[in-house]
Structure 1
């Protein structure tokens, strides 16, 4: 009995050590993702983390589904994920296109016996995808992001794979959302800078105030049906204010 108790304690200690190690790795992942300001690099980091942390993963990718029909591989660890995404687009079937919009996790235990998407499943199996796990990252209207995991054999993903995969996907979703917000902020700052440069050109050229220069840009934008940023970029690049085409007037 004492021997069995010792084995139980050893197993519990080992499990606790594994859990602590995983928690530390996930903490490192979260910190690394927060520090990454390049979206493509961020997605690549997530895919590498999935390969390193999630048990039984042979390949991984992040896919974007546009308009519920076109599947794009934004980051892929190899050729199989890219082929599978192309097959989903070609057949109009697959875990990203169908169930992933309604389910947080989509499981494909055995691609060779998958009946939900017969055309896709047969082709995906031939391409080398024996099993899959897909984790929803975000849904925005008809567009979706998913973290996809691939097994090199059927039924390789277990409960641990799903639990760790969900943790990685949760970190990825937060980081991706932050990256999108940062990207939008950077675009806003760039727009502000180019408009400021255009105003400076007008102020110097016509000896007018900043408010008057801004009104000139707004009027040019309205008359030419052009975005204010594009008007400003045209002015800073060419030195000219866009004007309405009066040909045929």
Structure 2
């Protein structure tokens, strides 16, 4: 892990966080936001050498690392999930923050600790990031040095994660609204096609869509999409 140039100075933080909020909200997708979060964390939080975002799916108990500044972060996430313990995994699951001052002397995660040491982790922090549609998230900050994060670093990391969570939540809400609008459009088009080609009322056409959806256990949007492509009644 190598240290990178970073923004320093107490007076710079209010301006930095204001700019960060604007930058995160300007990203076009959640994926872009997560990539920006990890890059900004390395250049913002004193002591941070690597950063990543860990997501845990509560429904199927799987995990992913959608953003990371190095393979070390991905390997650390994998180790935590295989051991079913670790500061970042617990931050996501329990929605609270964890700080490891010196990994060599850590006792809370006995299975994960030796694997983290093998990866070269000296100290680390895990901040709960957000929960959304069954997904739990954590922002993970790493250093190769023990005691790399002082109290100020931990405070800045927490504020950073809070700003990031707001940006992610806003982006996801917008994506949900856009998806809902697209769904209504496709259903409306399908209803129009059925009305025109099969001389149905709008109510009858919509009931036909709902019946096909229930009978085939297929989402209404997918049934509508098939009709807009074929023009045929749903089977």
Question: Aligned partners of 2:133 and 2:226: how far apart in 1?
Answer: 33
Kindly provide the CA deviation profile for residues 61-110 of structure 1, in whole angstroms up to 9, marking residues without a partner as x.
01112339543211100011000001011111211333654462201111
Q: Aligned pair count?
A: 227
Kindly provide the CA deviation profile for residues 199-230 of structure 1, in whole angstroms up to 9, marking residues without a partner as x.
22112212344333223322322333332112
Question: Aligned partners of 1:142 and 1:109: how far apart in 2?
Answer: 31
TM-score normalised over the length of structure 2: 0.88
The answer to whether the 8 A contact 2:209-2:234 is kept is no
Question: Which residue of 120, 138, 159 maps to 1:167?
Answer: 159
Question: Aligned partners of 1:72 and 1:99: how far apart in 2?
Answer: 15
Question: Aligned partners of 1:142 and 1:112: how far apart in 2?
Answer: 34
Q: Call closer, same or farther: CA 1:136–1:99 in 2, change over 3 Å.
A: closer
Aligned-residue RMSD, C-alpha: 2.2
Kindly provide the CA deviation profile for residues 131-165 of structure 1, in whole angstroms up to 9, marking residues without a partner as x.
10111112469742100000121111101111111
Q: Call closer, same or farther: CA 1:212–1:140 in 2, change over 3 Å.
A: closer
The answer to whether the 8 A contact 1:110-1:130 is kept is yes
The answer to whether the 8 A contact 1:234-1:241 is kept is no
The answer to whether the 8 A contact 1:195-1:232 is kept is yes
| Structure with bigger gyration radius | 1
TM-score normalised over the length of structure 1: 0.83
Unmatched segments (≥5 aa) in structure 2: 1-7
In structure 1, what is the equivalent of residue 14 of structure 2? 23
